[in-house]
Amino acid sequence: MAAISVRAVSHSFGLPGKQNRIAALKNVSFDVAPGEFVTILGPSGCGKSTLLNMVGGLLSPSEGAVQVDGTPVLQPLPERIAYVFQESTLFPWYTVEENFAILLRCRDVPRSEWRTRTLAALTSVGMQDFAGHYPKQLSVGMRQRINLARGIASDTDILLMDEPFAALDEQSRMVLGEDLSALLGRTGKTILFVTHSLAEAVFLSDRILVLSARPGRVKATVAVNEPHPRPPDFMLTSDFSELRNQCYALLRDEIRLAMAEAVA
């Protein structure tokens, strides 16, 4: 059975019949197998995040259905799905450790294990020395690393990631991408990842869904047959650039369409 199953999902914002009604997604269907890393790639405004919000149970689609392990998603499912947002969603009024404590309390982890679990998660992203810091005291990149660690520490089978590296500079993105690939090779989580970076998509995914400009449809699927963890050298191979070019060719017209619509 598919870990995530999206069936004929369409979604619009605004009231039916109103001028400002926007069709964000149109008849999107796909499955994600257990342990698979699937990336949704598309021009800005094509409904990538909307789609992820539906899988996460934060939004109900206007039409169609989303299922996780065969059960329909009607609300957030904290035991099964962890969500890493675009920007750090660490609570600014708590220290890093307190932020983890809230999560672990929700996960019903016994209090005695909180500290070791927190440190383990922080160590996995190289942030073990910052448990006592407030988010404001850290750089954007550090915050997002911890945000990622918190998502992984949720210990769910499914991880949704909405452009988790968007706020980072290119160098940090690369390093974090490598870390993520290594981490996921070990844990075997099912991941649905949203990005508009071609290199990120190719480097991380088993499968890439290319979405069209608004309203988003699945325009094409690109498979990346390369085992995890992927070495940084993968980016230098001709396979990598070929896949990247293939994605760009699929996207180019859609990006222009999206930009034209954004101006109009």
Partner 1 sequence: MTETSRLWPCAIQGLIAAGGLLLWFVVTQSGEVSPLFLPAPDAVVNAWVALVRSDEFWPAVGVTLTTIAAAYILAAVAGLLTGWLITRSPLLTRAFEPLVSGIFAIPITLFFPLFILLFGIGQESKLAYGAVYGFFPVALNTIAGFAHVDRRLVDAARCMGLSRFGLFRHVLLPAASPVIFTGLRVGFFICFASVLGGEAIASAAGIGHNIALSAELFEPARMYAWIVCVVAAALVLTALVSTIERRFRDS
Partner 2 sequence: MSGPAAGTIAELAPARRRVAAGWLHGSAALRWGTLITIAVLWEVAARWSGNNGLVAPPTAILRALVTQILPDGQIRAALIVAVVEITAAYAIAVAGGFLIGVAVGWTRLGRNSLFPIVLFFYAIPQVAFLPLFVLGFGIGPAAKIAFGCSHGIFPVIVNTIAGMRNINPQYVSAARCMGISRAGIVRHVIFPHITGSFFAGLRLSMTMTMLGVILAELYVSTAGIGYFTRQFADTFDPAPLFALISVLTAIAIAMNAMVRLAERHWLRWKG
> Among 12-20, 84-92, 118-126, 128-136, which window interacts with partner 1 (CB under 8 A)?
84-92
Tell me which residues in 6-35 interact with partner 2 (CB under 8 A). 13-15, 20
Residue 113 binding partner 1, by CB under 8 A:
no
Residue 162, token pair as written in the block: 């909405």
Residue 59 binding partner 2, by CB under 8 A:
yes
Rounded Cα distance between 176 and 155, Å, is 19
Count of positions (residues) in the chain: 264
Q: Is 106 exposed, middle or buried (0-12, 13-18, 19+ CB in 10 A)?
A: exposed
**Smallest gap from residue 164 Cβ to partner 2 (A):** 21
Please pick, from the candidates 34, 78, 126, 229, the single residue that binds partner 1 as defined by CB under 8 A. Answer: 78
Q: Which helix (H) or strand (E) covers residue 261, if one does?
A: helix 238-263
Nearer residue to partner 1 within complex by CB, 98 or 179:
98
Residue 89 binding partner 1, by CB under 8 A:
yes
Nearer residue to partner 2 within complex by CB, 8 or 74:
74
Number of CB atoms found within 10 A of residue 29's CB: 12
> Among 11-19, 24-32, 38-46, 76-84, which window interacts with partner 1 (CB under 8 A)?
76-84
Residue 233: partners with Cβ closer than 8 Å, 6 or more residues away: none
Nearer residue to partner 2 within complex by CB, 59 or 168:
59
For Cα atoms 173, 213, 204, give the angle at the middle one, nearest 5 degrees. 30
Residue 210, token pair as written in the block: 């290319």
Q: Which helix (H) or strand (E) covers residue 88, if one does?
A: none
* Contact residues: partner 1, CB under 8 A: 53, 56-58, 75-76, 78-79, 81-83, 85-87, 89, 91, 93-94, 102-103, 105-107, 154
